[in-house]
Structure 1
Amino acid sequence: MSVLRKLRNIMVGDQLARTQKCSGTTASGSVIRGHVWRNLLVVMMASTLLLVAGCGQQQSSKDSKVIRYVLEQEPSTLDPAKSQTLPESTVQLQLFEGLTRLDEQGEPQPAAAMSWELSPDGTVYTFHMRPHMKWSNGDVLTAQDFEYAWKRALDPNEDAGTSYMLYPIKNGEAYNSGEAKADDVGVKAVDDSTLVVTLEQPTPYFLKLLAFHAFYPVNEQVAKTHQYWASKGETIVGNGPYKVTEWRHNGYINFAKNENYWDANSVVTDVMNWPISESQSTRLTLVEGGEADMMVEPPVPDQHRLEKEGLLQIGPMLGTYYYVFNVTAEPFTDARVRKAFAMVIDRKAIVDNVVHGGKIPAFAFVPPGMLNPATGKDFRAEGGPLVTENLEAAKALLKEAGYDEHHPLPQVSILYNTNEMHKAIAEAVQATWAKAFGVNVSLQNQESKVFLASREEGRYQVARASWIADFGDPQNFLEVFSASDNDAQFHNDAYNDLINKVRSTQDGSLRNQYMHDAEQMMFDEGLVMPIYYTTQPYVSNGKIKDFYWTALGLIDFKKAYRVE
């Protein structure tokens, strides 16, 4: 499993961790809530960020033409091949553009490519670039920039975290693993305006993949001239709606409309100023204090108040928070035990009392929000719930597996990465399992890197996990358990055969049925215990119009503007 897939597998947890650690906790551990705390801090926090901004050329926050969005994390890089977090991807979406761009419905639309053709066998795309495109620095942008960027991301010497996203390209994985040469990779700029891409096999979601940051172009001259070009405001060059005018690290990023963008006439806003803060409380203070317009992940203790005041909004995010069972660890070697443990959790109670943020109780693995192109219906609605909450049925399954008052269950341990939200969820699950089955349940927390290693190597019984989509197709979720290194330690030829059929089948209806069959098998085997579908809670003062959230949790400000 690649670095990025591992990071996405804990990304929701990282966001929740930021929510918890910055909620105004006192030395004694109690939480100070409400307007009293906020009123005391509003001037101090806002002034601190504005003083930092004042060292540069930060646009006045009173300018009605300026979009002020508080970024939740300092980007370590904005290199499309190497970035690994949602905040980085959010910034990149403003600065770069791939051959396609996702619209409000999550569907790919022509972007840097104005049109394309697909061969009858579904393996060769011929993309036609828009004429007269330029980089933000004025350099000419051609099909060669895409070929260079993609092969660079696959270059094993680059150690790019996004390389696996390009594996559908012919010999992409082979080149990345050192088993092929760059010239063998199935991407070729036949001239300045034509890019031919050959795939390993038909890939129905490929046009959606092209909107992902791994497929953004890179200016070869800039990348070869400046080693850290994507980490400095003065050297970063993009091809998207905006360009960076100043980047004060851990302070703010200032943007201006990119006059060289092919669709510059659709970009309404001339200037964006994004303060940066990992603190939920600070970000909320900036919005409520009038120094910013929007922020994500408000502190959980404030969400009920914000909802009543009409400030809390819920954006989409394709993801699922779940527990995974290690199928090689007793007592979870028996699918009946795994299914029984998943059947007694009160998901609504966890969402209502622990998680909040508009989360949705999950009764399957693939979240809602992805349409079946053949029917126009939501994949989740078609598949329906795949796990039920039924205590008596759960006890019956355990009895079938040989566990009763005379043969009690052994001790069970829940593993989670250190975080107050994960702890609270684990405690709720612990109490439920103890009450339902009389089982002794212990909790074990580990720092994220250790936790990931423990889960990947199977050193656990039950562990928390989450999956955020890399692209808007159910296959992205179902492939989690077809990988040879999947965390459940699950290896099933029949399941892998279904996933291979999903990958290669061009018939949309048949492919969709294979995906439903694969998800059903996942629950027949009792691999996971879904808890909730993720969302993107955010706070807005209502002054920013015509933005939208992509299904991947990114906010698109291309056509957005601010009103007073």
Structure 2
Amino acid sequence: MKKLSVWVIVLTFVLGAVLAGCNSNNNTTDNGNTPAGNNKEQAKEEKTAEAEAKIVMYNNTREPTSLDPPIGFDQVSYDVVNNAFEGLTRLGKDQKPEAAMAKDWTIAADGLKYTFNLRDGIKWSNGDPVTAADFEFAWKRLLDPATASDAAFLAYPIQGAEAFNSGKGAADGVMIKAVNEKTLEVTLAQPASWLINMVASPAFFPVHKATVEGNAAWAGEAATIVSNGPFTIKEWAHDSELKMVKNDQYWDAANVKLDGLTFKMVNDANTAYQLYSTGELHTTGSIPADLSDQLFAEKKVTVEESAGVAFYRFNVTKEPFKNANIRKAFVAAVDRQQLVDLVLKQKQKPAVAFVSPGLIEPSGKDFREVGGDLIKFDAAEAKTLLDKGMKEAGYTTLPEVTLTYNTNDVSQRVAQALQAMFKDNLGVDVKLANKESKVLSDEQKKLQLQLSRSSFLPDFADPINFLDGFQSTNPFSRTGWVNAAYDKLIKDAYNEPDEPKRFQMLHDAEKILMDEAPVLPLYFYNTVYMQTEKLEGVVRHPFGFIDFKWTDLKS
């Protein structure tokens, strides 16, 4: 009995060891703690969940300049910022401003005092409450000369704003005041009928004070960005893609249908089209020129009204563009109709002035229609103006001219087309140079370039937004151009309560701008894109930026 018992015990241990060995080899991970089958199942579930998630793939063309609201003053930056942050108002589906962080507001009878009442329960993505003090801090930071924001001039209607931004006043003199956590008071120096529309612009979005003050580079990486909009930034592979996820702290999260967004940075139209064709993009605005006619004919491209203008800036502090007639000669030498028809091929309208169509006057007419065509293509006139300008400047030979454009295939084609037009219509050999957008912008600001590519997209629907940037003190100008009469007209327009008189001042200002020619308008923007039928509710604002808040992705 004892001997038999021993063998039973031995066999029991051996069998247990074998079974344990089988379990060790097949059902546990290397560290023996988690079942491998569970691990595989979890990975499979995660992969399935990721595939089923509503993630919109969108081509934003290139790396944002900055995701700091007062700094990233361009479309590729603000298209991201507009979905990660939110202001007191937000442009709605109907393009009109609606309540956002502010639940409502009141305007004093004289149009000078605005009182915004914030919603209850609004939060930052880290859970902190969004308060009126966040807006006071952000708006004064926008105006702080140390911030050096190109968008600061937008806030000049606020009392004390221009003085502070120009170094002639203090922050305390800016009439933006958080009365309490839920109330923001703003006092204007003069009525600004566009203010409610304007504060929907990313330049006026709040920023999280502790984050901004605790880290000067806070807006440079996904991990350090605290936002308050429909989406938050999860990952940012610079110059490649930026991933956003739904912000569960957002006050209106119940109406956000997407799980997230991926902003691709593909700066070549052909590559973007291929990604769209293979389903790696749900929508793209990059239409290859060589396929444009076919895609339009097949009705695969959508065209919508938009606003803004593509143009070149002359540096009037550098030869030969110190002379106005030489600048006007270059303006007259450009066949804009040929440019949009044969080079761009995306149904744009040739620019006939600086302010684009779509802005309605008090009379109900379009500002552009009333203002008429202020520039035109005329090769003979261009040559006459060049000869006249060269005599005035004392040139027997025109100094060398370099046209600088930002690095992408569309800007390159436009630059090459203009180079050919200047040769054919003026007999001038123009050199071309390309630079990355950030470098080009920096060199423009320092007045280091002769003739360089630019664009303007309006922040709100009023012609003053197009024109005030060329005041001699405005950092947006980047031309070195100074005209006292122009400056006075813009200043007077800001102070004029009579709307018909104000619009006439703006027409007069635009005529001076075109006659002095510190800029060379090329074409007015439209919105052209391809989009999968699965994608619904993308809002592309003519006077604003793309918005995915109401977007849905059907299966």
Normalising by structure 2, we get a TM-score of 0.78
Quick one: structure 1 residues 253 and 532, their matched pair in 2 at CA, closer, same or farther if it must change by over 3 Å? closer
Q: CA deviation at 1:410?
A: 3.9
Q: Which amino acid aligns with 2:282?
A: D
Quick one: structure 1 residues 161 and 129, their matched pair in 2 at CA, closer, same or farther if it must change by over 3 Å? same
C-alpha contact (below 8 Å) 2:314/2:450 kept by paired residues: yes
C-alpha contact (below 8 Å) 1:204/1:506 kept by paired residues: no
Q: Which amino acid aligns with 2:69?
A: P
Q: Establish whether residue 322 from structure 1 lines up as the match of residue 311 from structure 2.
A: yes
| Residues 37-81 of structure 1, C-alpha deviations (whole Å, 9 max, x = no match) | xxxxxxxxxxxxxxxxx9997875753744333443344753324
Q: CA deviation at 1:178?
A: 5.1
Alignment partners' CA distance in 1, 2:389 and 2:219: 56
| 1:555 alignment counterpart | 546
Quick one: structure 1 residues 397 and 116, their matched pair in 2 at CA, closer, same or farther if it must change by over 3 Å? same
Q: Which amino acid aligns with 2:522?
A: I
Equivalent of 1:101 in 81, 90, 107 = 90
Q: CA deviation at 1:196?
A: 0.4
Quick one: structure 1 residues 435 and 177, their matched pair in 2 at CA, closer, same or farther if it must change by over 3 Å? closer
Let me know the Cα RMSD of the aligned residues.
3.7
**387-396 or 446-455: bigger deviation:** 446-455
* Equivalent residue runs for 1:260-409 within 5 Å: 260-267=249-256, 269-274=257-262, 276-280=264-268, 281-315=270-304, 317-325=306-314, 335-336=324-325, 338-372=327-361, 374-392=362-380
Q: Which amino acid aligns with 1:515?
A: L
| Count of paired positions | 505
Quick one: structure 1 residues 473 and 347, their matched pair in 2 at CA, closer, same or farther if it must change by over 3 Å? same
**75-84 or 501-510: bigger deviation:** 75-84
**Taking every aligned residue pair, what percent have the same amino acid on both sides?**
34
Q: Establish whether residue 212 from structure 1 lines up as the match of residue 205 from structure 2.
A: no
**247-256 or 552-561: bigger deviation:** 247-256
Q: Establish whether residue 533 from structure 1 lines up as the match of residue 521 from structure 2.
A: no
Alignment partners' CA distance in 1, 2:356 and 2:150: 25
C-alpha contact (below 8 Å) 1:58/1:254 kept by paired residues: no
C-alpha contact (below 8 Å) 2:90/2:200 kept by paired residues: yes
Q: CA deviation at 1:504?
A: 1.3
Q: CA deviation at 1:452?
A: 5.4
**339-348 or 320-329: bigger deviation:** 320-329
| 1:201 alignment counterpart | 190
C-alpha contact (below 8 Å) 1:387/1:523 kept by paired residues: yes
| 1:517 alignment counterpart | 508
Quick one: structure 1 residues 55 and 70, their matched pair in 2 at CA, closer, same or farther if it must change by over 3 Å? farther
Q: CA deviation at 1:556?
A: 0.9
Quick one: structure 1 residues 284 and 453, their matched pair in 2 at CA, closer, same or farther if it must change by over 3 Å? closer
| Residues 195-227 of structure 1, C-alpha deviations (whole Å, 9 max, x = no match) | 101233333322222111121122334445666
C-alpha contact (below 8 Å) 1:295/1:539 kept by paired residues: yes
| Residues 312-370 of structure 1, C-alpha deviations (whole Å, 9 max, x = no match) | 33455532223444556677666555445433432111112222333221111111232
Q: Establish whether residue 243 from structure 1 lines up as the match of residue 236 from structure 2.
A: no
Helix, strand or coil: the match of 1:352? helix
Alignment partners' CA distance in 1, 2:428 and 2:410: 22
Q: Which amino acid aligns with 1:560?
A: T
C-alpha contact (below 8 Å) 1:99/1:210 kept by paired residues: yes
Alignment partners' CA distance in 1, 2:57 and 2:401: 45
Q: CA deviation at 1:183?
A: 2.9
Quick one: structure 1 residues 218 and 525, their matched pair in 2 at CA, closer, same or farther if it must change by over 3 Å? closer
Q: Which amino acid aligns with 2:537?
A: D
**221-230 or 305-314: bigger deviation:** 221-230
Quick one: structure 1 residues 414 and 118, their matched pair in 2 at CA, closer, same or farther if it must change by over 3 Å? same
Q: CA deviation at 1:186?
A: 1.4
Helix, strand or coil: the match of 1:475? helix
Q: Establish whether residue 482 from structure 1 lines up as the match of residue 471 from structure 2.
A: yes
Q: Which amino acid aligns with 2:546?
A: I
Q: CA deviation at 1:507?
A: 1.8
Q: Establish whether residue 505 from structure 1 lines up as the match of residue 496 from structure 2.
A: yes
Quick one: structure 1 residues 59 and 116, their matched pair in 2 at CA, closer, same or farther if it must change by over 3 Å? farther
**Greater Cα radius of gyration, structure 1 or 2:** 2
C-alpha contact (below 8 Å) 2:314/2:451 kept by paired residues: yes
| Residues 278-320 of structure 1, C-alpha deviations (whole Å, 9 max, x = no match) | 3434543332112331133244444344334433334555322
Equivalent of 1:143 in 123, 132, 139 = 132
Alignment partners' CA distance in 1, 2:87 and 2:500: 28
The gaps in structure 2 that reach 5 residues or longer are 1-42
Alignment partners' CA distance in 2, 1:356 and 1:389: 19
Q: Which amino acid aligns with 1:500?
A: K
Quick one: structure 1 residues 337 and 90, their matched pair in 2 at CA, closer, same or farther if it must change by over 3 Å? closer
Quick one: structure 1 residues 96 and 55, their matched pair in 2 at CA, closer, same or farther if it must change by over 3 Å? farther
C-alpha contact (below 8 Å) 2:258/2:553 kept by paired residues: no
| Residues 495-551 of structure 1, C-alpha deviations (whole Å, 9 max, x = no match) | 211111111112222111111111122233344432211234332112211221112
Quick one: structure 1 residues 508 and 79, their matched pair in 2 at CA, closer, same or farther if it must change by over 3 Å? same
| Residues 366-391 of structure 1, C-alpha deviations (whole Å, 9 max, x = no match) | 1123223x233322122221123344
Quick one: structure 1 residues 336 and 196, their matched pair in 2 at CA, closer, same or farther if it must change by over 3 Å? same
The gaps in structure 1 that reach 5 residues or longer are 1-53
